[in-house]
Structure 1
């Protein structure tokens, strides 16, 4: 299938690791120009070097903290100056509070800033370009809405999911689609910190994941590539799980 991504311009946050990194590599391999957004400049430049080796195209590096309220304008301006357009926004940056962490007001605010407001701000700043594209695409990474305890991060991703659904209906007349992806346990820095190799990880997989393993960032990135493609133009306002059937039932 031709995904029709050649020369499309994609902004990918959280690009230095895990799903964000895999997404940037996948979209570039499909012919897209990619703007890499994250805080770690050295890692961004290493990824840009790898993309250039693989594709012959140099990715744009935008070193910034998405928690900065001024970051969306900075990102959009940098991409506009380099490419003159934005066709795709993939909000892959995000993280949950640590297990057992006290849910102070500061934690609540940070989780909503990271998992909802930063994504909302970037999409809103990009909307004029996405609408002008005639085939704009937004993918927001959220989380599994199957709460087992009170979590600030889960509340924030629930807000992002509902907002994405509403936005999809507002921007559909402009040819813009908005979808969410809820990854389960995908092998990444964050997941390895929470569940390192050992008995606890093995037990979690045995009890919770029918597929019998963690997913890979590339598997999540493959879904991104389809959702931002030309053939996916009639798919909008939905949330897709990439979780190997993960569940919390006993």
Structure 2
């Protein structure tokens, strides 16, 4: 399928590893000029070299997304590199399990990282998307079946609600916004936190397709949603989880 992405531009946060890396690489190999944002320079440089060898372009941008003024700096740097931004993939974030008596500061940090930065970066880049009458925003979020108290789950639920409301405001400008909650997708963190025997048993008992996903399994959906072909898909939450979730809608 021809996705008609050549000559488009994109910003992908959290792009040094896992899902963000797979999306950044996939977009670049479709002909998109990609600014890849993360904190680890050596990993971004390796990605850029790998993509260049395959005929694509990734521009590394070293940025700590947790900083207070990160959104403004990220938007300005991306626009300076690309001239304009057609596609934004909000992917930076992290799990934040908290005890019931966690201080407000812990909740504030989790909400800032997993919701507020998404909102700030998006709203910083929206005016130039509106001016060009085209844009794609993709949020990598989280599951809606928390097994305990985790501030990241609350933040990702906020992303879903914000994105749905925003989709109603920006649709007339040719801009779509969609959210993708990953299931059990293999990553550096997964390998560190879950032993192989646990992963095997969990896949057999809980995941209908029988295995944990790879970052590329999610990236293919993100890349499609970033394309002109996905013009009639907006305000949605589309899980990529091998059938793990049990709810019907």
User: Shorter chain as normaliser: what TM range?
Assistant: over 0.9
Is the 8 Å Cα contact of residues 100 and 149 (structure 2) preserved in structure 1? no
Deviation at 1:193, TM superposition (A): 2.2
Q: Please say which of residues 223-232 and 104-113 is displaced more in the overlay.
A: 104-113
Deviation at 1:105, TM superposition (A): 2.6
Residues 10-69 of structure 1, C-alpha deviations (whole Å, 9 max, x = no match)? 000000000000001100010000001011112111111111111153x22210111113
Residue 228 of structure 1 is matched in structure 2 by 226
State the aligned residue count.
Answer: 247
Residue 48 of structure 1 is matched in structure 2 by 48
Residue 209 of structure 2 is matched in structure 1 by 211
Change (3 A) 1:102 1:222: farther
Any unmatched runs of 5+ in structure 2?
Answer: none
Change (3 A) 1:103 1:243: farther
| Distance in structure 2 (CA, Å) of the matches to 1:82 and 1:105 | 37
Residue 59 of structure 2 is matched in structure 1 by 60
Any unmatched runs of 5+ in structure 1?
Answer: none
| Distance in structure 2 (CA, Å) of the matches to 1:204 and 1:110 | 31
Listed as ranges, the matches of 1:1-250 within 5 Å are 1-57=1-57, 59-98=58-97, 103-198=102-197, 200-247=198-245
Deviation at 1:197, TM superposition (A): 1.2
The alignment's C-alpha RMSD in Å is 1.8
| Distance in structure 2 (CA, Å) of the matches to 1:178 and 1:31 | 21
TM-score, structure 2 as length reference: 0.94
Is the 8 Å Cα contact of residues 35 and 62 (structure 1) preserved in structure 2? yes
Is the 8 Å Cα contact of residues 179 and 237 (structure 1) preserved in structure 2? yes
Task: State the secondary structure of the residue aligned to 1:242.
Answer: coil
Residues 115-146 of structure 1, C-alpha deviations (whole Å, 9 max, x = no match)? 10111111011101222332200000111111
Deviation at 1:247, TM superposition (A): 3.5
Deviation at 1:97, TM superposition (A): 2.0
Deviation at 1:99, TM superposition (A): 8.1
Deviation at 1:157, TM superposition (A): 0.4
Is the 8 Å Cα contact of residues 177 and 236 (structure 1) preserved in structure 2? yes
Residues 140-181 of structure 1, C-alpha deviations (whole Å, 9 max, x = no match)? 011111123222111110001100110111111111100000
| Distance in structure 2 (CA, Å) of the matches to 1:90 and 1:56 | 18
Change (3 A) 1:100 1:187: farther
| Distance in structure 2 (CA, Å) of the matches to 1:160 and 1:143 | 9
TM-score, structure 1 as length reference: 0.93
Where has structure 1 moved over 3 Å in runs of 4 or more? 98-104
